[in-house]
Amino acid sequence: MVAGSSLGAFAMTSRAPSRLLLVNLAVWGALALAPLGLGAWQVGQLAQYFTYGLFAMSLALIWGHCGLLCFGQAVFFGIGGYAMSLVTLGMVPGLEAAPSSYLGVLCAVLLPAGFANLLGRFLFYGKGLQGAYFAIVTLAIAVVAERLAINWAYIGGLNGLMNVPPMNLGLLGGGTEIWDSVPVYYLTLALVFAVYLLLEALTRSRYGIVLRAIRDNQDRTGYFGYDTAGYKLTAFTLGAGVAGLAGALFVTQFNFASPPLIGFTLSTEVLIWVALGGRTLPLAAFLGAILVRSVENVLSETLGTYWLLALGLLFVLSVVLFPRGLIGEIIHRLTAPRRGVVGRNAKPP
Amino acid sequence: MEQLFILTLDASNFILAIILVAMGLVIIFGLMNVINMAHGELFLLGAYTVVMVERLGGSYWLGLVLAPLAVGLVGLIVEELVVRHVYHRFLDTILATWGLSIAIKQAVVVAFGPASHTVSSPIAASIEIFGAPYPAYRLFIMAVALLVIAVTFWLFFRTAFGLAARGVIANRDMAACLGINTRRLDRATFAYGAALAGLAGAVMAPIMSVDPQMGLGFLIPAFLSILVGGAGHLAGPLLGAAAIGGTDTLAANLWSPVVAQIVVFTMAIVVIRLFPRGLAGRWFGG
């Protein structure tokens, strides 16, 4: 199976990429043209879902490719969101005069990444935490983080931070604010697409192959001489940075940062999006988030309390029957060459 | 002195309550290597069984007897429909049972509404301990927990079933080769673990607010107890719950419940990282 999938990865160069390229063109093309056919409110809504999609991609990287089942990914999303809010609201001591969006984004990426790096150094090295232990520890961290956010008056406590300004083009703030839904939409889409290309390149590279090798069999990868803890650490750090960026984009659109952003519930929601979308392809995870949020938006009013019941059962069904995820399965059927397994979207073990 | 005694009683109470929940979890985890995220919801179902029995005019005690039976049956169904299909995919058992927990919780909301219910305490009397009144029902809970621990240890260390179960824990393939029906054992274990969760829910219902969110509050401390204590040994949750519950009660009395939760969770994470096999694994080599 392992040999088969790595062979498949090389065989991919022949036919499969062209079909995957078509799928990509169709998806991103449709997203680029979507504002033409949608009202302003729907465009704004979709732009917000993009930030969730970006968040989902960050989890797909560390879970789908590296096998780190993280139940606390929202901690990084939340730190990013709060960092962006504090900087652009001018609440950071010494930086009151420069509520710059650029600086905010920078902090929103570096702070979660730095935190994840420290946490990873503690958790992965030495005896190291495996599978379920990692899941439960991250779950506990998410609960603690939410508790801290609720009880920390500086970041607004239970009420959170309100009136977070939108993206601002001025270098030190004070320039043009991007309010309208269409510019916000394209700005978000461009950033998400850039990160998507980065993650695509990364998961196709040699680095990505090693990550999947660690996911499939950590011990064996270690015996081959790879520094497995180091690989996990970089992936975890990078994933946290991407989640932080998603959090920053989210608060500029939502204009509001509150403790649920950092907590346990959002952490589990993103798991559901990624599991339903597909954990092994960034595109599938991204679409999974958008799909679940959109369907929720439409159905939650008609179905009421039954919606969450249906989502829970669908989630169980998808985990048991479609480990590639619903969208991942569709993409797999569309793009897989007939003769065998393809490396990146191979069935997760 | 008197205050110290009450504090000790409170701590023991909390510890034994965690053990009630953790016992089922550790049996399922030890035998089947399944992290049952729906355990909190099985606890929830136990509490709601009592609510339902009382609503239909039955007494609390009838509910207490029916709860483990009903929830054990749910466990049997869940094992058959979901868990057995993902045994071999370890991380997916976490996800599948997590999805189940969402579905069960939401089914309870649909059936009983999101509001909280109260179950009146069946033993209203309080007992004077060192001159201070202490609710007798809490002593009853402690007695039930001790009984459950005793029965479980007896079951696993003194019966043929327990011998087979420990054989499967030690080496599943070898046990299967020796003619132990692992499939039947898995089913029985999951149902027993679920029944314990149901019993815990029913026992705790009178001293908690019975609402759809009550499961999670116990699930996380129970998980942390298992990991801190060591998942490989039946004594693990006893040690772990003592560490978690004791620290929590102490910190909550010294500072506040919020600080207590943060201190306990942080302590647990550090202990899990330093001793991945838990305190029991370190001391018993188990």
Q: Other CB atoms closer than 10 Å to residue B177's CB: what's the count? A: 9
Domain that holds residue A123: 2-335
pLDDT at residue A9 in the model: 44
Q: Where are the domains of chain B?
A: 2-120+128-212
Nearest by CB to residue B82, choosing from A141, A148, A316, is: A316
Q: For A167-182, how does the pLDDT look when each residue is reduced to its tens digit (9 = 90+)?
A: 888 777 777 777 788 8
Q: For A93-130, how does the pLDDT look when each residue is reduced to its tens digit (9 = 90+)?
A: 877 777 888 888 999 999 999 999 999 998 888 766 77
Count the domains in chain A: 1
Q: Pseudo-torsion of CA A270, A271, A276, A279, nearest 10°?
A: 110
Q: For A263-294, how does the pLDDT look when each residue is reduced to its tens digit (9 = 90+)?
A: 888 998 899 999 999 888 889 999 999 999 88
Lookup: tokens for A248: 């920053």
The answer to whether the beta carbons of residues B69 and B249 sit under 8 Å apart is no
Give dist(CA B142, CA A167) in Å, integer: 57
Measure A349 CA to nearest chain B CA, in Å.
Answer: 6
The answer to whether the Cβ–Cβ distance between A135 and B92 falls below 8 Å is: no
Give the sign of the dihedral formed by CA B35, CA B190, CA B51, CA B203: negative
Measure B200 CA to nearest chain A CA, in Å.
Answer: 22
Measure B158 CA to nearest chain A CA, in Å.
Answer: 30
The answer to whether the Cβ–Cβ distance between A275 and B262 falls below 8 Å is: no
The percent of residues in chain A predicted with pLDDT above 90, rounded, is: 34
- Please give the mean pLDDT across all residues of chain A: 85
Predicted TM-score (pTM) of this structure:
0.87
What are the beta bridge partners of residue A256?
A162
- Alpha helix (H) ranges present in B159-277? 160-170, 172-177, 182-204, 214-229, 236-254, 257-274
Which residue in A has a C-alpha nearest to residue B227's C-alpha?
A133
Q: What is the mean pLDDT of each run of 10 residues along chain B (286 residues)?
A: 77 86 86 85 92 87 91 92 82 87 90 83 77 80 89 89 85 86 87 92 87 83 85 80 86 84 86 79 57
pLDDT at residue B32 in the model: 80
Does residue A348 lie in a domain region? no
Give dist(CA A345, CA A336) in Å, integer: 9
Does residue A347 lie in a domain region? no
Nearest by CB to residue B110, choosing from A126, A147, A306, is: A306
Q: pLDDT category, A345, cuts 50, 70, 90? A: low
Task: Identify the burial level of A300 via C-beta atoms within 10 angstroms of its C-beta, where 0-12 means exposed, 13-18 middle and 19 or more buried.
Answer: middle
Of residues A226 and B131, more confidently modeled: A226
The answer to whether the beta carbons of residues A252 and A165 sit under 8 Å apart is yes
End-to-end, the C-alpha distance of chain A in Å comes to: 10
The answer to whether the Cβ–Cβ distance between B110 and A309 falls below 8 Å is: yes
Least confident of A48-57, A62-71, A223-232, A326-335: A326-335
The answer to whether the beta carbons of residues A37 and A182 sit under 8 Å apart is no
Chain B residues with beta carbon closer than 8 angstroms to that of A323: 89, 92
Q: pLDDT category, A201, cuts 50, 70, 90? A: very high
Of residues B237 and A341, more confidently modeled: B237
Q: For A31-40, how does the pLDDT look when each residue is reduced to its tens digit (9 = 90+)?
A: 888 888 888 8
pLDDT at residue A311 in the model: 87
Number of H helices, E strands in chain A: 14, 2
SS3 A68: coil
Query: CA nearest A100: which of A318, A248, A241, A219?
Result: A248
Give the sign of the dihedral formed by CA B208, CA B209, CA B214, CA B220: negative
The percent of residues in chain A predicted with pLDDT above 70, rounded, is: 90
Measure A330 CA to nearest chain B CA, in Å.
Answer: 20
pLDDT at residue A139 in the model: 87
pLDDT at residue A93 in the model: 81
Query: CA nearest B37: which of B2, B73, B1, B86?
Result: B86
pLDDT at residue A57 in the model: 94
pLDDT at residue A189 in the model: 93
Q: What is the mean pLDDT of residues A40-69?
A: 91
Residue A16: pLDDT over 80: no
- Say what the ipTM of the complex is: 0.84
List the single best residue of B36, B37, B39, B94 to mutate versus A (max A Cβ within 10 A): B94
Q: For chain A, which residues lie within 8 Å of any Cβ of chain B, measuring from their own Cβ?
A: 67, 69, 122-123, 126-133, 135-137, 139-141, 143-144, 147-148, 151, 268, 271-272, 275, 305-306, 308-309, 311-313, 315-316, 319-320, 323, 348-349
Nearest by CB to residue B268, choosing from A140, A275, A313, is: A140
Does residue A349 lie in a domain region? no
The answer to whether the Cβ–Cβ distance between A319 and B266 falls below 8 Å is: no
Least confident of A144-148, A244-248, A283-287: A144-148
Does residue A13 lie in a domain region? yes
Place of tokens 């601002």: A168
Tell me A161's DSSP state. E
Residue A348: pLDDT over 80: no
Residue A341: pLDDT over 50: no
